[in-house]
Amino acid sequence: MAFLHKLSKASSVAGARLIRRLSNVPENTVYGGPKPQTPNQRMTLNQLKQKYKKGEPITVVTAYDYPSAVHLDTAGIDICLVGDSASMVVHGHDTTLPISLDEMLVHCRAVARGATRPLLVGDLPFGTYETSTSQAVDTAVRVLKEGGMDAIKLEGGSPSRITAAKAIVEAGIAVIGHVGLTPQAISVLGGFRPQGRNVASAVKVVETAMALQEAGCFSVVLECVPAPVAAATTFALQIPTIGIGAGPFCSGQVLVYHDLLGMLQHPHHAKVTPKFCKQYARVGDLINKALLEYKEEVANGSFPGPSHTPYKMNPKDEDAFTKELQKMGLDRAASAATKAAAEPEKTNTEQ
């Protein structure tokens, strides 16, 4: 459960009830009857289930910090995933393997501060849940306790992963499974390679997804599999599938924030955007242009102009200041101060 206890500023609920960001506050559910679905409440598992039953696609985007979380909240994205993709897009590594649990928890907390409406899901990073079932439960507990998340996601469909998922659910933590291309396993997969392209692999995708459902997962991510495989899996399950590079037949879609925004796109340094990812903007180009303009304006002295130089001294103080400086023997400084006071737009030519 999210730990955010801030009072909602725009609450319209009767005074007797605190509005929290928790979606399952006892007063509301036990004592207060059916909850009103106000727009300021966090997305619940039940609401997701309703969407799925009605055939409404579920939207998921990754976020790693406060501003991106705020953006997802503002746009009304259903699920905010704090992905271990942070390892690549935030920390600049080539794989998702290097990121530690402590680093993930920092990302989780920052996101929790920013996103009050989307369901918050935290990835279990590589190396924090494979050693034993108890390690997996410990890690999942930390992601909720210290990370402020609502649920966790773990990768893989091997028997020990299924057992781990089951134990985590039994510990009371909602779990999203993840099959197909599981980036933490690129060592055995031999790289970021699509899965499910032959019969055996395709059947395995379906079977492991079903096993994860059996273990109690409320959803399964399908990554980089052919569309027919994703379609079959989606139809074989009674829980929503969230696809990425898996075609249009899933119950929902997920994309990485930086990829969908074209955050790093610039001709001189184009980070490869995966081919299944659509760029909905070219933020990288915008950033590049803005920074060039800032650099230009600083270099030619036009920034900061008067409208960005808001702090003033009143003239009496300016005079006294100049006199003090002269007393200290800083004559050049004194005249610089007088000049600055008199001609606020002139750029400094004396150093």
Catalytic residues: 223
The CB-of-22 to a copy of itself minimum distance in angstroms stands at: 19
DSSP-derived secondary structure letter, 173: -
Query: How many residues make up the chain in this entry?
Result: 351
Residues 150-179 within binding reach of a copy of itself (CB under 8 A): none
Distance CA 308, CA 310 (A): 6
**Is 220 a binder of a copy of itself (CB under 8 A)?**
no
Distance CA 209, CA 180 (A): 9
Count the site residues for a copy of itself by CB under 8 A.
125
The CB-of-133 to a copy of itself minimum distance in angstroms stands at: 28
Is 87:96 a contact under the CB 8 Å cutoff?
yes
| Interface segment toward a copy of itself; rule CB under 8 A; list 118-126, 132-140, 171-179, 314-322 | 314-322
**Is 304 a binder of a copy of itself (CB under 8 A)?**
yes
CB closer to a copy of itself out of 138 and 318? 318
**Is 330 a binder of a copy of itself (CB under 8 A)?**
yes
Count of Cβ atoms closer than 10 Å to residue 230 Cβ: 29
The CB-of-98 to a copy of itself minimum distance in angstroms stands at: 10
Angle (CA) 133 134 135, round 5°: 90
CB closer to a copy of itself out of 61 and 217? 61
DSSP 134-145: HHHHHHHHHHHH
**Is 56 a binder of a copy of itself (CB under 8 A)?**
yes
CB closer to a copy of itself out of 90 and 171? 90
Query: Which residue among 3, 18, 35, 103 contacts a copy of itself (CB under 8 A)?
Result: 103
The CB-based long-range contact list for 169-173 (8 Å cut-off, 24+ gap) reads 169/215, 169/216, 169/217, 170/216, 171/137, 171/140, 171/141, 173/140, 173/141, 173/144
**Is 292 a binder of a copy of itself (CB under 8 A)?**
yes
Query: Which residue among 38, 46, 238, 280 contacts a copy of itself (CB under 8 A)?
Result: 280
Query: Which residue among 23, 234, 239, 256 contacts a copy of itself (CB under 8 A)?
Result: 234
DSSP 191-202: SS-----SHHHH
What are the two backbone dihedrals, phi and then psi, of residue 105, each rounded to the nearest 5 degrees? -65, -35
CB closer to a copy of itself out of 33 and 92? 92
Residues 107-136 within binding reach of a copy of itself (CB under 8 A): 109-110, 113-114
**Is 39 a binder of a copy of itself (CB under 8 A)?**
no
Question: Hey, what are 196's tokens?
Answer: 């499910």
The CB-of-266 to a copy of itself minimum distance in angstroms stands at: 6
Is 246:220 a contact under the CB 8 Å cutoff?
no
Q: Which residues, listed in sequence order, are joined to residue 180 by a DSSP beta bridge?
A: 223
Measure the N-to-C terminal CA separation of the chain; round to a whole number of Å.
57
Residues 176-195 within binding reach of a copy of itself (CB under 8 A): 194
The CB-of-68 to a copy of itself minimum distance in angstroms stands at: 8
**Is 251 a binder of a copy of itself (CB under 8 A)?**
no
The CB-of-135 to a copy of itself minimum distance in angstroms stands at: 22
Q: Which of 114, 41, 52 is nearest to 82 (CA)?
A: 114
| Interface segment toward a copy of itself; rule CB under 8 A; list 22-30, 132-140, 182-190, 337-345 | 337-345
